[in-house]
Amino acid sequence: MTETAVNVATRAALTDDREGMTYLDSTKRKLVTVYLPLALIMIVLIFPFYWMVITAIKPDEQLIDMEKYNPFFVVKPTLKHINKLLFESNYPTWLWNTMYVSVLATFLSLIASVMAAYAIVRIRYRYAQWVGAAIFLAYLVPPSILFIPLATIIQAYGLFDSPMALVLCYPTILIPFSTWLLMGYFKTIPYELEECALIDGATRMQILTKIILPLAVPGLISAGIFSLTLCWNEFIYALTFLSSTSNKTVPVAIVSEFVDGDIYRWGSLMAGALVGSLPLVILYSFFVEHYVSAMTGAVKE
């Protein structure tokens, strides 16, 4: 093929690409196909958080009188509800319980998931993929079905009304998904690195700790964020296994302690939800890129 023919083919390919995107050159089409859907998605996602914020800083009279005050705006905002939440309730204890249970359960789940994912992906044995599929299928079992037999086990071991009950139960719903996620990420790491290490005399544990884990940091961050978020927001197990006020976690405590019969203390409820969501918001803001990249790698596999 002559140089002229190559140039013609290249120009034709570029022209085709440009023509494929020309539908976005029009301002009206861009508005309908890009900006309008994005605006709707942002409104749907941000509005609950906005409602939570304005409710947390509204005075009591604005929470009650919806005819005199616009429910979507706040006049003369106050920090009274947040002050009561932090200094006149057990909210700091509930927040500590939530953090303690979430971090410890996430740590235990990551250890088990790393071992399981590495064994399934890297150690070659029959039916390894079937084992991986069976582990992931365990994730599909609804927690609302498992909490009844788990409650019997927790009661038998004397862990009822103890945060350790949640620490031991949460890995049952965290390990299956985290294992599947790490399996997909471990597959993206070249196997030749392990073969070279095996030739040099490295053990499997040395390969895992010194080669695989440093390269799989984005995957570990993604699995950790997923596990921490699920533990932080979990409600059914925390409601079933914890009864005393001092041992409750935030999702259960703000619902049970700020509702008196049919009277809802909306200011305190929304303030508790707002303060309780801030740690996760901060966490996602720092690691969102690693989370998305690891999830993409796992899905590709």
Number of domains in the chain: 2
Q: Could you tell me the CATH number of the domain that includes residue 190? A: 1.10.3720.10
CA pair distance 139, 178, nearest whole angstrom: 10
- The reply to whether 199 and 50 lie within a common domain is no
- The reply to whether 179 and 50 lie within a common domain is no
- The reply to whether 147 and 246 lie within a common domain is yes
Query: Average pLDDT in the 216-232 region?
Result: 88
CA pair distance 121, 57, nearest whole angstrom: 51
- The reply to whether 35 and 172 lie within a common domain is no
pLDDT at 257: 83
pLDDT tens-digit series, residues 119-166: 888 877 777 778 877 887 877 888 778 878 888 888 888 888 888 999
Q: What is the chain's mean pLDDT, rounded?
A: 81
The pTM of the whole model exceeds 0.95: no
CA pair distance 81, 72, nearest whole angstrom: 18
Residue 78 lies in a domain: no
DSSP 106-164: HHHHHHHHHHHHHHHHTS--TTHHHHHHHHHHHHTS-HHHHHHHHHHHHHHTT-TTSHH
- In contact, 285 and 230? CB cutoff 8 Å: no
pLDDT at 20: 52
Residue numbers of the domain that contains 116? 89-300
Residue 65 lies in a domain: no
Q: Is the pLDDT of residue 7 over 60?
A: no
Query: Average pLDDT in the 107-124 region?
Result: 88
Per-residue pLDDT band for 301 (boundaries 50, 70, 90) equals very low
pLDDT at 99: 93
CA pair distance 218, 224, nearest whole angstrom: 10
Measured at the alpha carbon of residue 252, what is the angle toward residues 251 and 257, in degrees to the nearest 5? 115
pLDDT tens-digit series, residues 34-81: 888 888 999 998 898 898 899 888 888 888 777 788 888 888 888 888
- The reply to whether 9 and 122 lie within a common domain is no
Q: Is the pLDDT of residue 6 over 50?
A: no
pLDDT tens-digit series, residues 181-214: 888 888 888 888 888 888 888 888 888 888 888 8
pLDDT tens-digit series, residues 249-286: 999 988 888 877 777 788 888 888 888 888 888 888 77
pLDDT at 249: 92
- The reply to whether 230 and 155 lie within a common domain is yes
Stretch (H or E) spanning 37: helix 36-56
CA pair distance 115, 171, nearest whole angstrom: 14
User: Can you say how many angstroms the Cα of residue 151 is from the centroid of all Cα atoms in its chain?
Assistant: 25
pLDDT at 94: 93
- The reply to whether 100 and 46 lie within a common domain is no
